[in-house]
Structure 1
Amino acid sequence: MTTRNSTAEPAPLGVAVVGAGYWGPNLIRNFRGSPAWDLVAVCDLDTERASAVVGARSGVLVTDDLAEVLGRDDVHAVAIATPARSHRPIAEAALAAGKHVLVEKPLADSVAAGEAMVEAARAAGLVLMADHTFCYTPVVRKIRELVTTGQLGEILFVDSVRINLGLVQPDVDVFWDLAPHDLSVLDHILPDGLRPLGVSAQGADPIGAGKPCVGYLSLPLTGGALAHVHVNWLSPTKIRQMVIGGSERTLVWDDLNPQQRLSVFDRGVDLVQQTVDSADRRTASISYRLGDTWAPALPEREALAEMVAEFAAAIHEDRPPATDGAAGLRVLAVLEAAATSLRANGAQVQVAAPAPTLELIR
């Protein structure tokens, strides 16, 4: 294991990207641009597509043979950007070959598969990281700071909307396609991670696609707070917005407003007095706060560049990354509970906790 010291930076790590379809080219570009990494190989069943992504004059190996990639001594890590159903077999093969593993969201196609991946990484002493990209954006890092330092006060509610027109995925519904983004952000910013008291899900398929294309998740949180996530493939208007209401302040994250992605409102409602009258009815006196609104200054950094740097740092420092396998499992547990709730016509169901032996310290 290469370690950091005060006199020299560690040598770049060799990485192979498996999958050159939708997300793979983004990973390829960022690994290439990172001083912490040396892109050694790209593996895809469509080698023509992979070669086009890599470039004609590149010295990067392009192959459709995963075993060839895993057999190379100069490959220290593997980044997986393939359909979720293939994540477990590829990850387990890479871990068995002694390679650290990065997996695009979601971590796997089931909690059981994710738990097997986490256990394989733990047993091998290797890093398993979930590519929860939004957690590495400057705006989400600022939101996490505002929450953890108590500047919002006690969290009262979260409303998240992620809607747009398409793409209707062939292998997953709208929950598994879009909700992992919002769920991973919640897991990253909430002090105890994503541990809802239950999940209720409502979904609709108005176009006859054979799967929910419009969906709503309700997640009651500890302390009486409620998180709500709306995902939709059918909206002609694209919206990427999250509102986090606190007892002291409320913030609004509008990801489609580059001039002011984050706004903090010093406004809210206070319960001044609560009494019980003769008929045993509770009455409350409400006070409204109308204060300033401010927009924190945010640096302009690409989230994927920060993510691949964190992957390298976790390997060099022999520690769990910020979005480790346990974070991926917490998101998977909510997605599976949502599927169970859908089958039960929206009834609230409990979220199965990952196996205790697999829980990592946050």
Structure 2
Amino acid sequence: MRVGVVGAGYWGPNLARNFAISPDWELAVICDLDAERAQSVADRVGGVPISTSLDEVLADPTIDAIAVATPARTHHPVVMAALAAGKHVTVEKPLADEGGRGAEMVDTARANGLVLMADHTYCYTPAVLKIRELIAAGELGDILFVDSVRINLGLIQPDVDVFWDLAPHDLSIIDFILPGGLDAATVAAHGADPLHTGKSCVGYLTLPLAGGAIAHIHVNWLSPTKIRQMVIGGTKRTLVWDDLNPQQRLSVYDRGVDLAEQSKATTSDARAANISYRLGDTWSPALPEKEALSNMTAEFASAIREKRQARTDGASGLRVLSILEAARGSLQNAGAPYPVDITHEMVLS
């Protein structure tokens, strides 16, 4: 199949490189308003044609799909034009800059029988694919909590705050690995702007999940140290993912509170309850070394060929977008829990 990459800025070159080497795809064109920038990317991937006109690209009947790597505010018009032209689409995070626009994109793709895929790249890393597999197999038991930290020094974005810049990664991962996806009814967000930039540079998200579980996400542009870590606690085992540790990205701990023993306590005094703690082995699953975007391009092709929704489909992008919008509402209400708008999901049902 033939694909065009729209946007030759920060993320476009990565998409172009992976589509160019994929056995599933022929990279047909690099499209960007800046011809010099488009040519620079094209030269790096074998000298494919360039275009400065999206209309020209979408009018080409030999192009099956486009990959969108443009600013979030442009996603809706670009994707809607592509869907109207009968093209399958993968679009980088966030799906759109507003939930209503995202819902229209998803609804249109489904009505036209086209694949709309959210490029939630982290979901296609070998580590996250393994986490999803372990949770689905019941290796961790029922999930009790998810605690995620994504902090580093910069870059302070000119158009979005730290929540919209960094949290989509963690939210998309949580949506991908949990069997029920992101099902939070409310979100509480606390942010700080100590540099007086006019936007949150440090932020904390809290999301109550089904069954009494909870997810917590810490994002930060101001940390002198870089941390990419997620802890997922279950009734059987706890998993720690350290994305910056190539020797041991995943660690599974067979330790925690024995809930079965706790339930046998007959006293009403919780302090006297006979809680048992397990102190078992720790092991690290073996992971293949494969670039996440390579897995993403393969999934995009498979979804199109098999006429199915992609693993990270438009609906998953919409769930992440709904959480971000609720976080914005919570920030405006001094961190009070803010309801997640479920009407977008109702539109898709």
Same fold by TM (over 0.5)?
Answer: yes
Q: SS of the residue aligned with 1:171?
A: coil
Q: Deviations over 1:79-103 (max 9, x none)?
A: 1000100000000000101111110
User: Which amino acid in structure 1 is aligned with residue 293 of structure 2?
Assistant: L
Name the counterpart of 1:211. Answer: 199
Q: Deviations over 1:151-184 (max 9, x none)?
A: 1111111100000000100111000000000000
Query: What is the alpha-carbon distance in structure 1 between the residues aligned to residue 188 and residue 169 of structure 2?
Result: 18
Name the counterpart of 2:72. Answer: 84
Q: Deviations over 1:245-300 (max 9, x none)?
A: 111100100000000000000010124244445xx877522211111000000111
Name the counterpart of 1:304. Answer: 293
Q: 2:169 aligns with which of 163, 181, 204?
A: 181
CA contact (8 A) 2:322 2:341 kept: yes
Query: What is the alpha-carbon distance in structure 1 between the residues aligned to residue 74 and residue 59 of structure 2?
Result: 19
CA contact (8 A) 2:17 2:45 kept: no
CA contact (8 A) 1:107 1:130 kept: yes
Query: What is the alpha-carbon distance in structure 2 between the residues aligned to residue 262 and residue 56 of structure 1?
Result: 34
Q: SS of the residue aligned with 1:55?
A: helix
Confirm whether residue 30 of structure 1 aligns to residue 30 of structure 2.
Answer: no
Name the counterpart of 2:104. Answer: 116
Q: 1:260 aligns with which of 232, 248, 258?
A: 248
Query: What is the alpha-carbon distance in structure 2 between the residues aligned to residue 191 and residue 57 of structure 1?
Result: 38
Name the counterpart of 2:320. Answer: 331
CA contact (8 A) 2:88 2:115 kept: yes
Query: What is the alpha-carbon distance in structure 2 between the residues aligned to residue 326 and residue 226 of structure 1?
Result: 22
User: Which amino acid in structure 2 is aligned with residue 356 of structure 1?
Assistant: M
Q: SS of the residue aligned with 2:321?
A: helix
User: Which amino acid in structure 2 is aligned with residue 29 of structure 1?
Assistant: R
1:136-285 paired onto structure 2 within 5 Å: 136-271=124-259, 272=262, 273-277=264-268, 283-285=272-274
Q: How far apart are residue 198 of structure 1 and its match? A: 1.4
Name the counterpart of 1:131. Answer: 119
Q: SS of the residue aligned with 2:123?
A: helix
Q: How far apart are residue 315 of structure 1 and its match? A: 0.7
CA contact (8 A) 1:276 1:282 kept: no
User: Which amino acid in structure 2 is aligned with residue 327 of structure 1?
Assistant: S
Name the counterpart of 1:6. Answer: none
CA contact (8 A) 1:197 1:222 kept: no
Query: What is the alpha-carbon distance in structure 2 between the residues aligned to residue 125 and residue 223 of structure 1?
Result: 35
1:6-21 paired onto structure 2 within 5 Å: 13-21=1-9
Query: What is the alpha-carbon distance in structure 1 between the residues aligned to residue 247 and residue 187 of structure 2?
Result: 35
Confirm whether residue 356 of structure 1 aligns to residue 349 of structure 2.
Answer: no
CA contact (8 A) 1:274 1:282 kept: no
**Structure 1 outlier segments of 4+, above 3 Å:** 56-59, 273-277, 280-283
- Alignment RMSD: 1.4
Query: What is the alpha-carbon distance in structure 2 between the residues aligned to residue 168 and residue 62 of structure 1?
Result: 31
Q: How far apart are residue 119 of structure 1 and its match? A: 1.2
TM-score (ref. length: structure 1): 0.93
Q: How far apart are residue 344 of structure 1 and its match? A: 0.5
Query: What is the alpha-carbon distance in structure 1 between the residues aligned to residue 240 and residue 345 of structure 2?
Result: 35
Q: How far apart are residue 73 of structure 1 and its match? A: 1.3
Confirm whether residue 346 of structure 1 aligns to residue 328 of structure 2.
Answer: no
Query: What is the alpha-carbon distance in structure 2 between the residues aligned to residue 59 and residue 157 of structure 1?
Result: 48
User: Which amino acid in structure 2 is aligned with residue 149 of structure 1?
Assistant: A
After superposition, the Cα gap between the structure-2 partners of 1:223 and 1:71, relative to the gap in structure 1 and judged at 3 Å, is same
CA contact (8 A) 1:275 1:282 kept: no
Query: What is the alpha-carbon distance in structure 2 between the residues aligned to residue 332 and residue 137 of structure 1?
Result: 21
After superposition, the Cα gap between the structure-2 partners of 1:57 and 1:24, relative to the gap in structure 1 and judged at 3 Å, is closer
Q: SS of the residue aligned with 1:307?
A: helix
Query: What is the alpha-carbon distance in structure 2 between the residues aligned to residue 274 and residue 56 of structure 1?
Result: 66
CA contact (8 A) 1:340 1:349 kept: yes
Q: Deviations over 1:201-254 (max 9, x none)?
A: 000000011100000000111111110000000000000000001111001000
Confirm whether residue 105 of structure 1 aligns to residue 85 of structure 2.
Answer: no
Query: What is the alpha-carbon distance in structure 1 between the residues aligned to residue 315 and residue 23 of structure 2?
Result: 27
Count of equivalent residues: 345
Query: What is the alpha-carbon distance in structure 2 between the residues aligned to residue 346 and residue 56 of structure 1?
Result: 46
TM-score (ref. length: structure 2): 0.96
User: Which amino acid in structure 1 is aligned with residue 181 of structure 2?
Assistant: G
User: Which amino acid in structure 2 is aligned with residue 301 of structure 1?
Assistant: K
Q: Which runs of 5+ in 2 are unaligned?
A: none
Name the counterpart of 1:52. Answer: 40
CA contact (8 A) 1:70 1:97 kept: yes
Q: Percent identity?
A: 67
Query: What is the alpha-carbon distance in structure 1 between the residues aligned to residue 36 and residue 187 of structure 2?
Result: 43
Q: Which runs of 5+ in 1 are unaligned?
A: 1-12
After superposition, the Cα gap between the structure-2 partners of 1:59 and 1:346, relative to the gap in structure 1 and judged at 3 Å, is same
User: Which amino acid in structure 2 is aligned with residue 314 of structure 1?
Assistant: A
